[in-house]
Amino acid sequence: MRSLTFVIGTGRSGSTALSRILNAHPDVLSLNEFMASVGDAAFPEGPVTGEEFWQTLYLPAPHFERMIRSGLPLPEFLYTRRPGRYTARATGIPALSLMVLPHLTDDPDGLLDELAAAVVRWPERTAPEHHRALFGLLCGRFGRTAVVERSGYSTGWAPGLRKAFPDARFVHMFRDGPDCALSMSRHPGYRTILLLREIKEHAGIDSFADLTPEHVRALPADLSPLLDDRFDPALVRDRDIPLRRFGTLWSELVTDGTEFLAGLPADQRATLAYEDLLDQPAEELTRLAEFIGVDPRPQWLDTGSVLLDHSRRGSANRLSAAEFADLTESCAPGTHVLGT
């Protein structure tokens, strides 16, 4: 493994397409939604055995399992499109299997078995050392040299990743505020994020670890079921959530990403605007490849250009004038931070 790069950002910014483009590069190991899949649980403090580390990669993510069981799977859940031997209702879907491994292979169950056989035998060491070994193992398996992890809604993980991997490079990817916020408003994951934030506000807590049964009993009837093992998907899908709340969320996330990037050495940071990628795919992908540390091969540049979807650009312009003005106002803090 020659280099490790994390692409952070709001999500709904063309970043899933970017993972597909990176996966097409013969030298890049594209870890699609790795952090979204394993989260902070995969970074325990102190030394851990190989078996303990494997459990952090294997155990299903409870919040994603609830969404699948409730009939509200995210479009990013690749495993549920072509199910293997795991199901949310019977076995639970291993964290790595949901979005990471199906991005790399058509046989995610087989790859999971390969990884398990190796990782459980690893010696005791810190979680970052285990992760580096895992990335190296996958690079060897697929003949890749550069690792790029990309998760949506990922700015919150950036400081911890910087601490765990001080030599890693970071790319902050972003998209026009109103377009991105409108896309968030139509996505079940971001709608759920705002509803879970509402639950914490009602309960007066900063973390769900502090949620008590008394808090749950005091919640409104249209919020408390979201904490159940299974809930009515209409509670998320059909709830009226003001569009400007998604604009505020976008502003918060791009501000976090911009401020984090500003604290990095110049050679460890880069930005990528979705609109620039659409307008100048060859130039932007060349710049990205050089930052990651791989050759911008002409065939790959052509492939990357084909994988970009131009149809969603300017989607917010189709809102009514009043809706667009309100959404633009809620995005103004983030737009100012980005200098766009």
Containing 338, the helix (H) or strand (E) segment is: helix 321-338
Tokens for 323, please give them: 């809706």
For residue 243, the one-letter residue type is: L
pLDDT of residue 312: 86
Q: What is the pLDDT of residue 1?
A: 75
Give the Å distances, CA to CA, from 196 to 191, 216, 266: 9, 12, 36
**If DSSP codes are grouped into helix, strand and coil, which group holds residue 170?**
strand
Q: Do you know the residue count of the chain? A: 340
- HSE-CB at 225 with a 13 A cutoff on CA atoms is 10
Bridge partners (DSSP) listed for residue 273: 174
DSSP assignment letter at 207: S
Instruction: Work out the number of other CB atoms within 10 angstroms of the CB of residue 39.
Output: 15
Average pLDDT per block of 10 residues along the chain, 340 residues long:
94 96 98 97 96 98 95 96 92 97 98 98 98 98 98 97 98 98 98 96 92 94 93 96 98 98 98 97 98 98 94 94 98 94
Backbone phi and psi for residue 270, each to the nearest 5 degrees, phi listed first: -155, 160
3-class secondary structure, 90: coil
Across the chain, which distance is largest between two alpha carbons, in Å? Answer: 61
Q: Please, are residues 84 and 59 in contact by the beta-carbon 8 Å criterion?
A: no
Per DSSP, the residues of 38-65 read HGGGG--SS-B-HHHHHHHHHSPPHHHH
CA distance 116 to 110: 10
296 φ/ψ angles, rounded to the nearest 5 degrees: -75, 80
Which tokens in the block code for residue 62? 């409870």
Q: What is the dihedral of CA 159, 21, 254, 235, to 10 degrees?
A: -100
| Pair 146, 2: CB distance under 8 Å | yes
Task: Provide the pLDDT for residue 327.
Answer: 98
CA distance 119 to 129: 12
pLDDT at position 45? 95
Tell me the β-bridge partners of 270: 171
Q: What is the DSSP string of 225-293?
A: GGGSSS--THHHHS----HHHHHHHHHHHHHHHHHHHHTS-GGGEEEEEHHHHHH-HHHHHHHHHHHHT
pLDDT at residue 62, rounded to an integer:
93
Q: Is 111 helix (H, G, I), strand (E, B) or coil?
A: helix
- Cα–Cα distance for residue pair 205/217, rounded to 1 Å: 15
Return the pLDDT at 209: 87
